[in-house]
Amino acid sequence: MNQAAERNIRIPGYAFLDPFVDVSFFLLLFSVFTNIFFDGHHNYFYFFAFFAFFGVTGIRLILLIRYTGSFVLPTITIWYGLFVLYSFASILWAYNPGVCFHVTSRIVQCLIIQFCMAQNYSSKAALPRCLKVFVLAAVLSSVYILSQTPLETLFKTRFGAASTSLNPNMFAVIYSFGALIAYFFACHMRKLIAYPVAFYLVFMVVATGSRKSIITVLLGIFLLTIMVTNRKHHVLRLVLTVGAILLFLYWIMTIPALYTVLGSRLDSMLGFFTNREADYSMTLRLTFMRVAKEIFLDNMFFGAGIINFHVLLGTVMNESTYAHNNYYELLADLGLIGFLLYYSYYVYVALATFKRVIQGSQYAKLMLTLVLSILLCDFGIVSFYTIQINVIFTCTTLFLSVCDAGPKPNASKPRPALAAE
């Protein structure tokens, strides 16, 4: 973050905007966490929250410009803006241009939300607020969906499917990232209340029956334990964490209710990789990826046009759905150019994060865990037009503003301004 933005955070007259920023951001997250297809024509709550967050940000930005005479265009906005422009351009060569417009409007919304987050939360004081809002929205959205779920369906069907008819996998991704952030607050900031919050969100991941999300969250907790724990208690906490993870997996595989919703799916996945048995879900996803690969090979550099994988899949399998893999669908839709444009910034963020982890920054350790978790989740979801994942990745890029990349300054020297990001 630049010096002007840092001065802006310290202006007393701006403090009254912080609650409005947080409330509007919470409403926005709550709406997209409870309704995966957040931008449907009748989702008035989402549009109210979206324009409220955009409006509060606009007021703050006007005050910033009046005070400083300028403002900074965040790096993430420039990067994703270029990706949006390329996605729009793909309409020119798309197999079916008509299907492109819905998703291009969605990624424009992702771009606006990223920009607003960067304006509001790119400071050491504001970033923890952003993370807490995310966790709170994840918890309350799960409570809301739980309240709408018939009791007789709990642990008989995957959580979210009975009450919303939506994909439980995306709910699981949301809860897994919320659990990782809560666990970071528990370990790094000694917030004891964060432990039960993290446990609750992990439990909700189990209830969704999502295999990739339970693997992601458990690996993420293990990685955070290795990196964040103080040296004094490092071995003890590591042993306790590994023991808790193994006990958790034991419960999943032995308690009938948990086995029904998740354990059987893990067992089936294991059987697929060991050639013991067929797994219909895994086989179908591999078929989607094979089709995506063939589309990519036919349109290697530019792709078939954004969201056109869905159309072309329908011509092959008489089914129109996503590829269940961000890498393959991005290659099929936007080719090598779109793929490299999208993931180049992930590489930059990962390398910058790793550098800061080596230097001991605690926030960088969380950021690295989140980036790696996104990349792992991308093997099972399509994220490049998804607000939920874009919010998380935006948080990781904002971390670069609060993690010092250079050597620590001497006590006698003034602390340098944070680098713009």
Give me 145's structure tokens.
């969906």
On whether the CB atoms of residues 24 and 49 are closer than 8 A, the answer is yes
What is the reported pLDDT for 87?
A: 94
What is the reported pLDDT for 403?
A: 60
| Alpha-carbon distances of 282 from 278, 323, 356, 382, rounded to whole Å | 8, 12, 37, 16
List of E strands, 182-271: none
What is the reported pLDDT for 93?
A: 93
- H or E element in which residue 164 lies: helix 161-164
Q: State how far the Cα of 214 lies from the Cα of 174, in Å rounded to an integer.
A: 12
What is the reported pLDDT for 229?
A: 62
Angle formed by the axes of helices 100-121 and 75-89, to 10°?
Answer: 170
Give me 381's structure tokens.
């979801």
Beta pairing partners, 157: 154
What is the reported pLDDT for 272?
A: 61
Q: Mean pLDDT, consecutive 10-residue segments, the chain of 421 residues?
A: 45 69 95 72 83 94 79 86 94 90 88 92 86 95 87 77 73 94 86 90 90 91 82 73 84 83 76 65 86 93 92 83 90 95 94 88 90 92 89 89 52 40 36
